[in-house]
Amino acid sequence: MKHIIVGGGSGFIGSALAQALRDRGDRVTVLSRTGGDQRITWDSLADGLPDCDAVVNLAGEHILQPGRRWTERYRQEVITSRTDTTKQLVDAINASKNAPDVFVSTAGKCFYGTQTGAVDYPQLDEDSAPMGLDFPAELVGQWEKAADHLDHDRVRHVRVRIGIVLGKVDRGGFWGRLWRIGRSRGLLPIVRLPFCLGLGAGLGKGTQPFPWIHIDDMVGILTQVIDDESATGRYNAVSPGIVSNAAFTAAFAKALRRPVVWSIPASLIRAVIGPERASILLEGQNVVPKRTLAMGYTFQYPTIDSAMENLVEITF
């Protein structure tokens, strides 16, 4: 049995990871804003890190959080929620008398940047440099840099770059369930409503790559890098079966048994969420999990159709 501390353990990925670890017999302590049973707060790190075998940091304000207008204040929240928590954890680990065996820091696939108006999308593996710099790429760069001062002589360091994580969603058979989104758990619940109404749409030109991953594979990769003592450095947490935005849209609509009738113009997306965030949806990166596959990880859901078959449930 291992003792694993999970920063951001109450979020979408963190809660799934914590449950999987507990299911296999590990002890999990969640690091969050509020304390409680099997939880500690970020403020408590000033008193030192509890003895543990591994630390995983998944904390960070969602950059595409529904209902949040893109302001300078929100922009700064997105940055500090990632960089400050990472620095806090690394400082606590370095100061620990009994350091954990491994620290898993996470960031986004947006590290690889974008090329506005790109037609050809080169494959980007863990060793690739950014194609170009935009705000999301600069954010990830700062996020990863915040972990650079980890004491690598004492602690194995794994960096995981995460694609768009897909979780379960259902299509209810009556209006009361049709409009309810509930707690946002990944992308699918957020976009479920318009698709259920038959108003599903692609984004912009639709040819941009859509680097996705099933939540079970996301948890599987994190679990493997915790356990594999040879795992170190960068790993891309994206499915090998990358598709275009248009192909993803078609697969989701098919799983919900609904048509795709239009495409949202790029200009409208930029106007609604702001140009700094729009590149996440409109440009995309052709990210491949080269080192993840070389590590020996076997994807449970390597294709978008297999993922949709598992994730989408028709409940009438």
Cβ atoms of 292 and 236 closer than 8 Å: yes
Residues composing the chain? 316
Look at residue 183 and tell me whether its pLDDT is greater than 80: no
The pLDDT tens digits for 159-173 are: 999 999 998 875 555
pLDDT band for position 179 (50/70/90)? very low
Look at residue 175 and tell me whether its pLDDT is greater than 60: no
Domain-embedded: residue 247: no
Domain-embedded: residue 316: no
Sequence-distant (6+) residues with CB within 8 A of 306 are: none
Q: Residue 36: give the domain boundaries.
A: 3-163+212-238+286-299
> Residue 66 has what pLDDT?
63
> What is the number of structural domains in the chain?
1
Most confident by average pLDDT, 121-125, 165-169, 280-284? 121-125
Pick from 30-39, 227-236, 239-248: least confident: 30-39
Please, where are the H alpha helices in 37-134? 72-95
Give the whole-angstrom CA distance, residue 313 versus residue 279.
30
The pLDDT tens digits for 85-94 are: 999 999 999 9
Q: What is the pTM of this model?
A: 0.90
Give the whole-angstrom CA distance, residue 118 versus residue 183.
34
Domain-embedded: residue 184: no
Give the whole-angstrom CA distance, residue 153 versus residue 232.
13
Give bridge partners of residue 4 from the DSSP assignment.
Answer: 28, 54
For residue 11, give the CATH number of its domain.
Answer: 3.40.50.720
Domain-embedded: residue 174: no
Give the whole-angstrom CA distance, residue 58 versus residue 212.
17
Residue corresponding to tokens 């928590």 = 85
Domain-embedded: residue 31: yes
Domain-embedded: residue 41: yes
Domain-embedded: residue 310: no
Domain-embedded: residue 56: yes
Q: Which amino acid is at 214?
A: H
Please, where are the H alpha helices in the chain? 12-23, 72-95, 135-145, 175-178, 187-196, 215-227, 245-256, 266-273, 275-282, 290-294, 304-311
For the chain, report the end-to-end CA distance as a whole number of angstroms: 42
Give the whole-angstrom CA distance, residue 314 versus residue 306.
16
> Residue 32 has what pLDDT?
85
Give the whole-angstrom CA distance, residue 242 versus residue 12.
22
